[in-house]
């Protein structure tokens, strides 16, 4: 698609994530594909092929959707690893970089478990679900969730 259309298409796709229920998310995804089909069929085909990956967050409880679909913590971690490795510049061997990155990861794990609570324990308990897709006839569009 042309660059001039990319902001419009991105805004259209973001509407999928603004829906209040899993059913509305799936319905909005279908509507977005239909809206793109005539003008940008390649984008519509791509979104259709990525349906399950794109809508995987909807199988979780609503209160964790933002944490599930966002990759901000991962991006922050990658930036911190880059910052620390750039300071060193050249490493003497592979083991040295593994030690540094391992230390950064251990530090981040401690921070996430002790300080910030990106997802609290109560929310994590709700997220422990086993998803059974197509367990009941006619239920392929919306997965059934059971506690593990």
Dump pLDDT digits (tens) for 75-110: 888 999 999 999 988 899 999 999 999 999 999 888
What DSSP line would sit under 12-53, residue for residue? Answer: HHHHHHT-SSHHHHHHHHHHHHHHHHTT-HHHHHHHHHTHHH
Q: How many CB atoms lie within 10 A of CB 67?
A: 15
pTM, to two decimals: 0.59
Q: Looking at the structure, tell me whether residues 4 and 42 fall in a common domain.
A: yes
* Kind and range of the H or E run holding 144: strand 144-147
Q: Looking at the structure, tell me whether residues 1 and 52 fall in a common domain.
A: yes
Domain count, the chain: 2
pLDDT in tens, 119-142: 666 666 766 655 555 554 554 544
Q: Looking at the structure, tell me whether residues 80 and 43 fall in a common domain.
A: no
Q: Looking at the structure, tell me whether residues 76 and 101 fall in a common domain.
A: yes
What is the domain extent for residue 41?
1-59
């Amino acid at each position: 698609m042309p660059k001039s259309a990319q902001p419009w298409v991105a805004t259209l796709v973001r509407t999928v994530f603004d829906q209040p229920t899993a059913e509305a998310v799936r319905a909005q995804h279908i509507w977005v594909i239909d809206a793109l089909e005539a003008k940008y069929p390649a984008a519509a085909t791509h979104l259709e092929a990525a349906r399950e990956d794109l809508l995987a967050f909807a199988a979780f409880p609503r209160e964790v959707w933002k944490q599930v679909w966002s990759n901000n913590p991962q991006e922050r971690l990658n930036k911190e690893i880059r910052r620390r490795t750039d300071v060193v510049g050249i490493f003497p061997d592979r083991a040295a970089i593994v030690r540094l990155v391992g230390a950064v990861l251990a530090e981040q794990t401690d921070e996430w478990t002790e300080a910030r609570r990106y997802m609290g324990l109560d929310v994590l308990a709700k997220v422990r679900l086993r998803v059974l897709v197509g367990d009941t006839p006619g239920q392929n569009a919306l997965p059934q969730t059971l506690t593990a």
